Structure formats: structure tokens, C-alpha cells
Chain A
Amino acid sequence: MVTIDLAKITTREANEKIRDYGAKGEDVEVLNPDARHHIGVGLIHPIRVNVRGSAGYFCAGLSDGARFEVDNNVGWGLGDNMYTGSVVVGGNAGAIAGVAIRGAEVVVRGNMGSRAGQVMKAGTLACVGNANFMAGYMMYGGRIIIIGNSGEKLGEDMSGGEIYLGGSLQSLGTDAKVTDVDGAEIDDIRAFLDRYEIDFKGGFQKIVNAGKNLRYSTTEQQMRSIPFFSFSGSSDYWNPKIQEDIHIKSQIGRYRVRGYGGARELPHLSDLAFKRDVTHAAKVADPVSKVEMHTLIGGKNGANPLDLSMPVLIAPMSYGALSRSTKQAIGIASGLSDIAENTGEGGMSDAQRGAAKQLIFQCLGGRLGWNIHDMNRADGLEIYISQGAKPGFGGQLMAKKVTKELAEIRGIPAGIDLRSPSRHPDILGADDLVIKVEELREATGYRLPVSVKLGAGRIRDDIKIAVKDGFDCVELDGMQGSTGAGGAEIMEYVGIPTLSAIIEALDALDDINCRDKVEIVLMGGIRDGVDAVKALCLGADAVALGTSAIIAGGCIACMQCHVGTCVTGIATQDPEHEKRYKPEVEARNIHRYLEGVRWQIAALTHALGHDAVTSLNRDDLVALTPEAAAITRLPYAPEYRDNQLQKAG
């Protein structure tokens, strides 16, 4: 056994050493831990780590296979996301012990703090003392054994798994119930307790999900096929959209959930025009060769940046909302065009990893599919806070799409209406977020850029927090963004338009003189290279395309993404429907579309008199409407309305 003394080296150095010793199979003893955070995170070798004292937040987090022992206490997030292996704590654990574990054994010999086992998927969390408030909150699977007493709201909103309680039950959470325990379960618990030398001879109450909230009580009928353009374009008072909305609500008696984006007219990039006459752009031969478009994203704090052939990324979209074949096609196309793809919520598939050359791996509140191994094979990490289409709300994946295979990769029960948590278990403020970002960096050896996805809300405050919390990049998502499923009213009426979002974000960075500290990737209704160039002129470092990439790959914009029976095989998990989608063919289509975007960006940049996209600036733009002028502070010049590339094309 080798010894590491935290009184002498930093946690970062210690973690590097622990990983090195892990690779060699040597056990490690950590001296003078003094409650420092992140001890042992990211360890993926089956060694023993003995921590001689107290550890801080996320001890043993994002690890797989190691056996940790902590002599005294630990802070928040003990064993965060641990796959296999074990961690045994001699003293007390802070809040969210065993958060998001996926198979590990987590044992606390003292008491544990609030929300223990939040969003855990598999494995065992055992507490010899008392549990605090809301143990088992939103757990999806696995078991929690509490020898002492429960706090309030035990099993709040759990959707799977079991809680065994030896002491007294203070109160049950929403949708939890007490049920019978059978002999085999008790034998199994006894064997577990024996293994960890926990002496308890008493009986257990068993708490499980009561099954009242797992699915909406009424399913939404399929809509008539009203194409998005007639859905969104008409200003008629009682238009088909309004009628449809009333019909459906008269059947289901609640708010509606649908796919696609909001359909209201909002100020957007199309309300801006280029100041120079760009109609000749189409006539220039091979503009791509004349303009520098190469873009690095995420390298400002020392991580390896994403290396993009143009200032374009694929927007985060989940495997779940979209079929595996669709994610594969987008991955291939992103690779062919040499830009970056993003996993969205719900994990990384081998097909997607293999297809994409550069892949950002997204971490959401439910930690669905999140794990250290896929982090290690990602090219960037991203913490999702919210999205533009439904800021402040979690994802919705209707039961039809939660197939066995999909449930497995996410670590959740199959066939539930999955309402992803709207907030992270361990990010309840900017102060917690600092520690979370550091955990991701520690676990991956500071190699990967870490970005934050922000749905436009209180942008001016949020962007400043993002900078202070040390993010390398902000993916800023405006209200015109789409989603696989969301409350219809939320999509229409909640959010900040993309145009306002970028301006507020840049103003915020200017407020704190940090324009060059972080990169901004703008998304939310970016349709083509024209929108992209306008976004770059305003000050975005790059843009991300979601809906347009889907449409390029065959989407017919019928807005039935939530139903799960997508006729094009895009927004479905049903093999019969997915069969219709030909990933190789659609990958080519998406790639050709992306090359079209590249051409547009190059042609416009050239026509505006620049030889690099980084030279684009606000002076290249005017506003066509008073609203856009007010938002952007660009000169109001409606006379420029004809001066668009589309006309030339």
C-alpha cells in the first residue's frame, strides 16, 4: 500500500497519483484529507483506497470498481454515479449520499443527510444511523437500507427500486407506499449487512413506488396533420392551431404535451439584414477557399478545445427523443463536415460515438446514461441547466418511447412517462456548481472542455455565474429552439427570444469585462448559414443547429415527436417505425446540408469584405424592425429589406 499525504500535495495531484497507482493495481492510503473535495473521483481500477480522516464533496464520485474506506465523515454526493465497487464511511455523510449510483455498494455507518440516493439507478445504499429528509428522492432503481429512522417524505417521487427501513417511519413521500417484505429479500439484506459487519437483528418495512404518478392518466390523441408552416404562419383568429388545441384539451382535460418548437412570431435573426449589398455573393467562385472558418471552442482554460472546420456545432438532442439511427446519421454527418455532435440527455451509444469525430457528452439532472467511461471517451463535457424551448423544465419522454433498451441505457424502469428532473441533485446554486464543474474536471484529468447549456432566462445574471464558475463555453439556447416533447403553453409563452439572448449575454460579459473569458455558442432557431452569419456578426463565437439538421435528414415537421410513432423513423423507439430511416442515406443528406451552410457562411463573409469569420462584426448589420433595433441597438433601416442572400440565391 502506498501513502499519499494531502497536507503536502493538492487534490488534483493526489487524484493523478491515485489513478496511476490504480492502473498498476496498488492500493492507496490517503493521509490528512481534512474534508477536501473530490478525493478519488474518476478512479476506474479495482484498488483499495483508505482515507484516514474526513473527505469532502463527491468522495469516490464517478468511479468504477474501486473499494473506498473513509474513516470519518464525508460531505455531499458520496459515491456520486459510482458504477461498481464500494465506499464505506465510518462517520456521517452529508446530503445526497449515493446520488445516481448505478450498481455500487455505499455504506454509511453514521447518519446521512438529506435526499440520500437521489436519482439512483442500481446498487445498494445502506445507512446504519438515521436518514434525513427525502431519502430515495426520485430514485429509479436499486435499494436503500436504513437501519435507523427515516426523515420526512421517505421515497418522495421514487419511480423504481426499494427502500427497507429498520427504524421508525417519519412520513412517506408522494407516490410511495409501504408493502410486504418477503423472506428472500430479508435473507439478501442480512447477507449484505453481514458482509459489512453491520449487526442488526430487527425487521424491516419495505417502501416502494405506489404507481399513481408514473404515467399521465389520459394519453393525448394524435393531432390532425397540420404542417408546422400553416400551424405557425397564420394570423387568423380561430386558426387550425387554436381549434386543434381546444379539441385536444376537451379530450384530455389538462395541459398539452407536444413536439417541435413554439409557433409564435418573435423577433429573430430574420429581422436583421446585412449592411452591404451581398447579392453578388452567389456569383463568387469557391468562396469556401477564400475564407478562414476554422474555429476552436473550449480551450480558454487549458483543456483540449473542440477543433471545428467551421463555427457550427450540432445542437444537443437526445437518443430517446430521437431514434438510434437518427443519432447515428447526425453523428456521421457531423464527422463528414468535421464539426462536433452532442449527445443530449440519455447517454452515449457506441454507434453515435463511432460515427461522430468530436462528441460532447451532456450531464443532466436525472443523470440518465451519465457515466465515467463515456465521459472518458467524449471530446467535451456539458452541464445542462435548461433549454430554450422550455426553460426551467425537465425533459419529457412519453411511455411509448421508453422501451426496454432505452430504459436500460438510462437506468430507469421501462414504460413510464419519463419526466426528467428539472434540476440537478447537486447543483442548487452557483456555489454548488463550482464544486460540480471541478468534479468533472478532476475525474477526467482536466483534459476536456466543460460547457454549460443555458436556456435563455435570466441571462445577464446566468452568464456571469457561468464565467465565475469556470466554464469554458456557454451553449446559449433561445426560445425558438425545439424539443422532442414539452408543454405547449411553455413552448409558446415561456422564454427569451434567441436574438435577445445573445445581446444580453454579451452585455453581461462586458459588464464584468470578460468577453474573452468564455465562448458563446448560440442556438434556438438557427436555420441556415444566413442566420449563422448574423449570429456571428452579433458576437456569437459559433452556432449550433438542431431542427434544421433533423429536417435535412427527412423530418416533415408534423409536430408529433412526442407520440413515438414518427412516420419518418426519426422521433421514435419503435423498430417498425425506425426501419424506415436509412442512416447512411440521411447522413449524406445532413452532410450536404451542412456543406450548404458552410458555403453560405463563406460566401456571405466574403461578400461582407472579410477573409475570416472572426472578422464579422456588428457594423455588418442593420435592423429591419423597430423591435429588432430596440433589442440589438443596431440602426433601424427598413430600406435594407431587399438586401438578403436568399433573394440572390
Chain B
Amino acid sequence: MCGIAGIMYKHGAEGFDTGAALIDMLDGCQHRGPDSTGYALYGESHEGQIKLRFFIGSGPEAEASVERVRAALAEHQARIIEDETIAENYRVVVDFKGDLQRFSYAMEHASKLISLGESLEIIKDVGGAHEVDERYHVKQYSGTHGLGHVRLATESEVKPEAAHPFWATGFSDVAIVHNGQITNYWKMRRRLERRGFEFTTDNDSELIAVYLADQMSNGVALRDALGTSIDDLDGTFSFLVSTKDEIGYAKDHLAVKPMIMYETDDLIAVASEEVSLNRLFPGQALDTYEPPPGSFNTWSRST
């Protein structure tokens, strides 16, 4: 039960204020989810460099987590380029070449891994859009695109790791925000687990991310994966997905969960409610579009 938001600046180099834009959009629909807020931000990337973010908690527990992560990195020949502790997160950039899926599962076992990617960083925690920004400085993030999410916990607990966005565990740079409920969750999850995939939560949004990332790793285009997701996933959903260069959406056949979008030559912005889009363009009457039931689409940035 949530509000979602996504934005992509289609042209030009990195350097748009995606963090600030997402904060505004999520603040606009915070009523849909007062429990927690999260951001998936895509920034500058360098060949061969991987950014990782972990939940480490605080105090001695945090120090122990950082030690475990550092040891695991060393074990996998990942050389630390830079690292820092921000509030209850540990952020580290490493040089790594090798099997990314195996590497990420190992990191996940070392501590609670939030995101992994050349470009992607996920920031999420309990609290509102501005509170999370104050803790993790979301405003300073710039880039070409990103996703955001506000959450009202219905079935699972209110804790940082249950917040969205979800990273597709095991796959670099894939993130998802989702409003709705996948009712064939366990069936789909068992199918993927039998093929060796690991899940770090019982959240249905993680399943969507892994489902899409798996298809893409087999050479399926994101757009086509979104198309099959509408029939393979059962339930009510509106979700946004992003990769290093693309952003996309899918909406179930019953169109129970809201979604509205605004597109110009320069940007695409998607949200649960128009009020979020208007936060980016105060005082303007926007020519918005509500995607029909059972639809999907993708946009890519030109570099």
C-alpha cells in the first residue's frame, strides 16, 4: 500500500537534480505511505567499479558489520576505492571483476545489502521523504534518473529493510518500486529459487525485480520482460523499474492501482497521483496521461 514515483531526464550528461525532484514528488504523496520512504538513484559510473550500500545499524553492531563486509570484500578480491558510514548505512565503492551474482550473495551474507551496481544506490529508511533526506542527504544526488517510494506497511513490519525500492538481489543496477500485491508470490518465488536465486526478504516487490532481472540476464529486453510480467504475475500492481539506462512501468489488467505520467521531449515523470507531478511544476496545468490496464512501456536515456 504505497505511493510510487519515477523520473528520467532523457538527454544530456548526468547532473540533473534527481534527488531533489524525487523528494518533492514523494512529499506530495506521503499521505499514501507515512511509514517509510526510499530512493533509487542512478549517478555517475566508472567501468569496473561497483557501489554497494549496507544497513549496518548503529554502535558496536555497526562496527562489527563493517568488519564483516570488509573481510568478505577482501575474500572476493574486491579492492576498496572509497568507503564511508552515513547514519545507519555503510557505503563502499570497490574494484571488482568476476561473477557478480555470487559476489552479491556473499556480500548479502556478510551484512544487509541494500543495493549493488555501477550506477545505482538505494537509500531507504523509516520516516518521511524529508526525514530520510536529512539522514542520508538525498538532495545532493544528481544523475539522469531515479525511482522513489512511500510505504504504508500492511502485512510486514515497519523496518528499514522492508522499505522500498528493492534491488534485484544478485543483479547489478536493477531497482523496483511497486504499489500493489502479487498473489502468486510463493509460486513464482519457488520457481526462481529452484534455479538458484536467493531472496533476502518476503516482500513481493523483490520478486518482481528478480523476475525482470533474470529475464534481462537471458538477453530479453526490459520492455519484453515487462510485457510477460503482466501475465506471469498475478494480483493488483502498478510498478516502476529502472536499470542503468532505462526506466519502465507495468500495470495489471484490472488497473486497481493508480499511475499517472507526464512526458515532454526532455523528461518522463511517473507517479501514483498527479499531485506529485505538479510538485515539479507548481502552478502549471500539465498534459498528463493515465496508462490503461494491462499496459507497459520503457524509456531510455540518450548519452
Contacts and interface: CB of A to CB of B under 8 A. Distances in A.
Binding between chains A and B: yes
Interface of A: 7, 32, 34-37, 52-54, 56-57, 71-73, 75-76, 91-92, 94-95, 111, 113-114, 132-133, 151-152, 428-431, 434-435, 438, 461, 464-465, 468, 512
A34 B152 contact: no
Interface stretch (B94-102, B135-143, B168-176, B251-259): B251-259
Nearest to B179: A431
A35 B31 CA distance: 14
B interface, over-half SS? loop
16 contacts: A34-B279, A35-B274, A52-B285, A53-B278, A54-B274, A54-B286, A71-B285, A73-B274, A91-B288, A113-B255, A132-B290, A429-B179, A431-B2, A438-B31, A461-B154, A465-B152
A114 B290 CA distance: 10
Contacts of A152: 293
B32 interface: yes
A72 B285 contact: yes
A135 B32 CA distance: 26
Q: Which 5 A-B residue pairs are closest in the complex by CB-CB distance? A: A72-B285, A35-B274, A34-B278, A430-B1, A431-B32
| Max count, chain B CB within 10 A of own CB: residue among A429, A465, A512 | A429
Contact of A34 (B33, B179, B283): B283
A113 B258 CA distance: 10
Contact of B288 (A7, A73, A76, A464): A73
B258 A76 contact: yes
Nearest to B272: A431
B226 interface: no
A406 B286 CA distance: 45
B34 A468 contact: yes
B292 A133 contact: yes
B266 interface: no
Contact of A36 (B255, B260, B275, B283): B275
Contacts of B284: 53
Nearest to B289: A92
A428 B282 contact: no
Contacts of B290: 92, 94-95, 111, 113, 132
Contacts, number: 109
A438 B277 CA distance: 21
B175 to A, nearest CB: 21
A151 B279 CA distance: 31
A434 B32 contact: yes
B293 A72 contact: no
Interface of B: 1-3, 31-35, 152-155, 158, 179-180, 236, 254-258, 260, 272-275, 277-279, 282-290, 292-293
Contacts of B287: 91
A133 B257 contact: no
Given A429-B257, A434-B32, A465-B152, A32 B283 contact: yes
Contacts of B272: 431
Contact of A57 (B3, B155, B273): B273
| Max count, chain A CB within 10 A of own CB: residue among B255, B272, B285 | B285
Contact of A75 (B153, B254, B255, B274): B274
Given A71-B285, A72-B285, A95 B258 contact: yes
A36 to B, nearest CB: 6
Contacts of B35: 468
Contacts of A72: 285-286
B260 A32 contact: no
B255 A132 contact: yes
Nearest to A32: B283
Given A34-B275, A431-B272, A461-B155, 8 more contacts: A32-B282, A35-B278, A54-B278, A73-B285, A95-B258, A429-B180, A431-B1, A465-B1
B269 to A, nearest CB: 13
Contacts of A37: 275
Given A94-B260, A431-B33, A56 B1 contact: no
A438 B286 CA distance: 25
A254 B216 CA distance: 49
A465 B32 CA distance: 12
Contacts of A465: 1, 152, 154
Contacts of B288: 54, 73, 91-92
A75 B273 contact: yes
Given A431-B179, A465-B154, A56 B274 contact: yes
A57 B273 CA distance: 9
A132 B292 contact: yes
| Max count, chain B CB within 10 A of own CB: residue among A92, A111, A512 | A92
B154 A430 contact: yes
B293 A133 contact: yes
Contacts of B180: 429
Contacts of B257: 428-429
A438 B32 CA distance: 12
| Max count, chain A CB within 10 A of own CB: residue among B32, B35, B275 | B275
